[in-house]
Amino acid sequence: MTAVSDSMDQVKTITDQKYKYGFVTEIEAETAPKGLNEDVVRFISARKAEPEWLLEWRLQAYRHWLTMVEPTWAKLSYPPIDYQDAFYYSAPKTKAGPKSLDEVDPELLRTYEKLGIPLKEQELLAGVEPRIAVDAVFDSVSVATTFKAKLEEKGIIFCPISEAVAKHPDLVRRYLGSVVPYSDNFFATLNSAVFTDGSFVYIPKGVRCPMELSTYFRINAANTGQFERTLIIADDDSTVSYLEGCTAPKRDENQLHAAVVELVALDRAQIKYSTVQNWYPGDENGLGGIYNFVTKRGACRGVASKISWTQVETGSAITWKYPSCILQGDDSVGEFYSVAITNHHQQADTGTKMIHIGRNTRSTIVAKGISAGQAQSTYRGQVKILPKAVGARNHTQCDSLLIGDRCGAHTVPYIESRNRTARIEHEATTAKISEDQLFYCRQRGLSAEDAVSLIVNGFCKEVLKELPMEFAVEAQKLVGISLEGSVG
Amino acid sequence: MTLNAEDHSHLTPGPPWLEALRTEGRCHFAQLGLPTPRQEAWRFTNLAPLTQPRWQIAPPASAALNPGPLPSVVPADHPPSYRLVFVNGYWRPDLSSTSGMPNGMVLTGLAAALIDHADLIEAHLGRLARADTQALVALNTGLLASGALLVLPPGLMLERPVEVVMIGTGGESDPPLAWHPRLLVVAGAGSRATLIEHHLSQTHHQNCANLVTELFLGAGAQMRHYKTQRENPASFHLATTSGRLDRDASYEGFLLTTGGRLSRNEVRLVLDGPGATATLNGAYLVRGQQHCDTTTLIDHATPGGTSSQLFKGVLDDEAWAVFQGRVLVRPGAQRTDGQQLHRALLLSDRARIDAKPELEIHADDVKCGHGATVGDLDDDALFYLRARGIDRDAARSLLIAAFITETIARITDPVVAAAFESLADGWLTPG
């Protein structure tokens, strides 16, 4: 069939496609010595001029980490990671505390321009209402924070977490580790010991954040794992939408990334956390790529609070990530919308946990997994209804799309209910793009490439529509780039 | 003593290959030990009570007890079934009836069959059940003393069903007894049969049955395999079934569980020939402190296979049910259709359900899906019935019966379907 041979060509085109963001910026980095020990932890803490309690917390985490073993339950295979063969801190050399963008290393700004982060947007577009505030993270240290004044007006705190430690120690101390304790899991504990930067957000009572908050993470210096720590607190009756996007320069060595994100939603607060993750996935032979071990968890502490996770995962060689919701407050709501696309030799083991504790708590899970090449994609999720969660409700939909006969798609849900009144529905399907669908589109004049993009975007639509406008466009393009035409 | 493989004084020495198999089983068990919830496959089922030091292997003499009336699904006006009866895991030829079997068919105690069918047993025993990875299979193999052998010659269409009845009994003062029987079924190409298992207790005495079943279905063979487990609420029932389906073979299984303090049915079916079809349905009805575990693996190893599973459960009081269903599609097993649905109804605030339906897909041209629901009775349906003057309890019973009937109705043998339906009704209206 012609469609088939065309598709085969397409597969080859996609296969040969090079990683778009593969460039390296030459910036002198001030690095901690290679390896991990108490001195490195102390070094990081000293570089950040942290208070004593935080150093103690880091050391406690480090000592606990020494007693832990790396988890092996995920459906992932990768060579053992040598945690002593990596740098745990590297900061770009900048003058202390840049007051404006002019003081920032121009090399750095050029990197952002290549990545398309419009840091200068506000100056250029004078008079235009700013819509996105960017807290750009470049190899662990935030270099510029924009729209600060606008946010400060509302009493919103949006700053690098190290700055928050200095300026708002009470808030940080109260909430840091309250959702993901330092002893939580191997990777979160490692992060607790050596986290370098990340964002801190506090939305005061009754405030609706006037713009989408956004952070672009970027891994740069060779052999430097990134260990961000993000903490978002939405006080009573507040609302915030946070965007996280990632690209990384091309490397042949695997890079370790172990981030922790903690969300706290108090009474009637709403947090929407969206991610587009497009880190270097390794080449077509499975060489290189980012190892992404992330702990993301939100606590709906208040009544009628809501946390919504949306993620589009197309990058990384290894993805280990389970954004979760602890539904403590009565009538609280948890949502998880996910698209995970794996190609070549990528492996993704991702999903969510919805822990229903309060009465009338509700959760929705929509997970779409797409596997191509020799990739393995696993949905792993847990829905747990505790005895007091009267009237709890969950609906889960997991769909997998397979492209090619050498990839794998797996679904491993855990459904645990201890309450009679809870209603749980779980549904999972697996399918491929049919020749009929392709034929139908091509017959109407679409190229094989456009046809697959259309079908896959349709498959993911339920999730993509949850993304804020700014991300939806990029996400749709990513979906297209990753898979267009790769059907035979 | 604790449930282990060390005491094997009850074993009659067998041929060298059997001794080697037993020794291997005991070695594997020594290495594996009893499963614990730390193992993923046993995450929700804890066998800790079996480690308490009081279990004894049922002595052969205990099999001589009178087991009381024998069950059968076959009504009196039908031709009787071929029947093997086991008491405390030992075959009782005096209670069994196998007369009038067609030529070439074998239905007898496994130990007795060693004389005439040693080669056939050697070629099949232990080939499907994995003693090296499954601890309970290792224990069963290491202590293998009795069981049943069913052989269907190629092309045999057996009209009368085969019933295997396993009864546990014991005196009030006896220590809890354990037995480890084996069922070996070899169905030749194109043969057809219906096999019904009954597992029950004569007394309220605590026992532990650790059963292993191996099923070989030749090309085009059709097997209907129905099981009811209604042992007393103090007993342990552990059953591991491994089946292999050759080209175009079809298997229809049903598991009805109402008994046991702790029960686990672990079924592994390999669709090992193109066009094989596996249907596995079941219902469990549990109350009190019962723990009921259903673990299935449908392994699509070859193209064009079809599998379907429907399990439904009703839990009352403090009952705890576990459903772990895995559908595996191996690389190259294209055009596979694998469907699974598990639904549980919780009638009490203290009941607990843990479900883990799992898909593992390594081929793209497949249609696989699973669904799982947990909930209480539908309020609207209850209201509808009550609005028509049906009282609350009657309305609830009606809805529960309807819920369970959906799966029992899938039993294609009408006689068995009727019998299982009345067993389920018996549970719903006790006393």
pTM as predicted: 0.88
- B-chain residues near A411 (CB < 8 A): 357-359, 370
Whether A142 has a pLDDT exceeding 70, the answer reads no
- From the list A404, A405, A413, the residue facing B356 with the nearest CB is A413
- B-chain residues near A402 (CB < 8 A): 361, 363-364, 366
ipTM of predicted complex? 0.90
Length of chain A: 488
- Parallel, antiparallel, or unpaired for β A362-372 and B207-217? unpaired
Put simply, the answer to whether A408 touches B374 (Cβ < 8 Å) is: no
- Give me the percent of chain B exceeding a pLDDT of 90: 84
Put simply, the answer to whether A425 touches B353 (Cβ < 8 Å) is: no
Packing angle of the helix pair A448-464, A469-483 (nearest 10 deg): 140
Q: Please give the helix or strand (H or E) that residue B366 lies within, else none.
A: strand B366-375
Q: What is the mean pLDDT of chain A?
A: 82
Structure token pair of residue A65: 């980490």
**Contact residues, chain B to chain A, C-beta under 8 Å:** 40, 331-332, 334, 344, 346-376
Whether B338 has a pLDDT exceeding 70, the answer reads yes
In order of A209, A233, B158, the CA distances from A157 in angstroms are 10, 10, 78
Put simply, the answer to whether A428 touches B40 (Cβ < 8 Å) is: no
- A-chain residues near B360 (CB < 8 A): 408, 410
- A-chain residues near B325 (CB < 8 A): none
Count A/B contacts: CB-CB distance under 8 Å.
114
Give which of A75, A382, A411 to mutate to test B binding, by max B Cβ within 10 Å: A411
Whether B350 has a pLDDT exceeding 50, the answer reads yes
Question: H/E/C letters for each residue in chain A?
Answer: CHHHHHHHHHHHHHHHCCCCCCCCCCCCEEECCCCCCHHHHHHHHHHCCCCHHHHHHHHHHHHHHHCCCCCCCCCCCCCCCCCCCCECCEEECCCCCCCCHHHCCHHHHHHHHHHCCCCCHHHHCCCCCCCEEEEEEECCEEEEECCHHHHHHCCCEEEEHHHHHHHCHHHHHHHCCCCCCCCCCHHHHHHHHHCCCCEEEEECCCCECCCEEEEEEECCCCCECECCEEEEEECCCCEEEEEEEEECCCCCCCEEECCEEEEEECCCCEEEEEEEEECCCCCCCCCCCEEEEEEEEEEECCCCCEEEEEEEECCCCEEEECCEEEECCCCCEEEEEEEEEECCCCEEEECCEEEECCCCCEEEEEEEEEEECCCEEEEEEEEEECCCCCCCEEEEEEEEEEECCCCEEEEEEEEEECCCCCEEEEEEEEEECCHHHHHHHHHCCCCHHHHHHHHHHHHHHHHHCCCCHHHHHHHHHHHHHHHCCCCC
Would you place residue A129 in the very low, low, confident or very high pLDDT band (cuts 50, 70, 90)? very low
Instruction: State which residue of chain B sits closest to A487, comparing Cα positions.
Output: B364
Please work out, in degrees rounded to the nearest 5, the angle formed at the alpha carbon of residue A375 by the alpha carbons of A369 and A380.
45
Q: Calculate how close chain B gets to A343, using CA atoms only, in Å.
A: 14
Put simply, the answer to whether B363 touches A402 (Cβ < 8 Å) is: yes
- Give me the percent of chain A exceeding a pLDDT of 90: 51
The 10s digit of each residue's pLDDT in B17-47 is 999 999 999 999 999 999 999 999 999 999 9
Q: Please give the helix or strand (H or E) that residue B107 lies within, else none.
A: strand B106-109
Whether B306 has a pLDDT exceeding 90, the answer reads yes
Instruction: State which residue of chain B sits closest to A435, comparing Cα positions.
Output: B365
Q: What's the average model confidence in pLDDT over A404-430? A: 93
- From the list B352, B358, B361, the residue facing A408 with the nearest CB is B361
Whether A221 has a pLDDT exceeding 90, the answer reads no
Instruction: State which residue of chain A sits closest to B351, comparing Cα positions.
Output: A418
For residues A25 and A247, is the Cβ–Cβ distance under 8 A? no
Put simply, the answer to whether B364 touches A404 (Cβ < 8 Å) is: yes
Pick the residue with more confidence: A464 or A434? A464
Whether B250 has a pLDDT exceeding 80, the answer reads yes
Place of tokens 């895995």: B326
- From the list A418, A422, A428, the residue facing B369 with the nearest CB is A428
Whether A64 has a pLDDT exceeding 80, the answer reads yes
Whether A28 has a pLDDT exceeding 80, the answer reads no
- B-chain residues near A424 (CB < 8 A): 372-375
- B-chain residues near A419 (CB < 8 A): 346, 349
Put simply, the answer to whether A409 touches B359 (Cβ < 8 Å) is: yes
Q: What's the average model confidence in pLDDT over A399-409? A: 90
Sequence letter at residue A86: A
For residues A6 and A158, is the Cβ–Cβ distance under 8 A? no
Instruction: State which residue of chain A sits closest to B373, comparing Cα positions.
Output: A425
Would you place residue B373 in the very low, low, confident or very high pLDDT band (cuts 50, 70, 90)? very high
Structure token pair of residue B90: 């030992």
Q: What's the average model confidence in pLDDT over B396-411? A: 95
Whether A345 has a pLDDT exceeding 80, the answer reads yes
Whether B196 has a pLDDT exceeding 60, the answer reads yes
Which residues does A209 contact at the CB level (< 8 Å), separation at least 6? Answer: A151, A154, A156, A203, A238, A239, A240, A241
**Contact residues, chain A to chain B, C-beta under 8 Å:** 73, 385, 387, 400, 402-432
Whether A101 has a pLDDT exceeding 60, the answer reads no
The 10s digit of each residue's pLDDT in B254-265 is 999 999 999 999
Longest dimension (CA), chain A: 69
So what's the pLDDT on residue A4? Answer: 43
Length of chain B: 431
What does the buried/exposed string (b/e) look like for B108-127 if buried means 16 or more CB atoms within 10 Å of the residue's CB? bbbbebbeebeeebeebbbe
Put simply, the answer to whether A410 touches B352 (Cβ < 8 Å) is: no
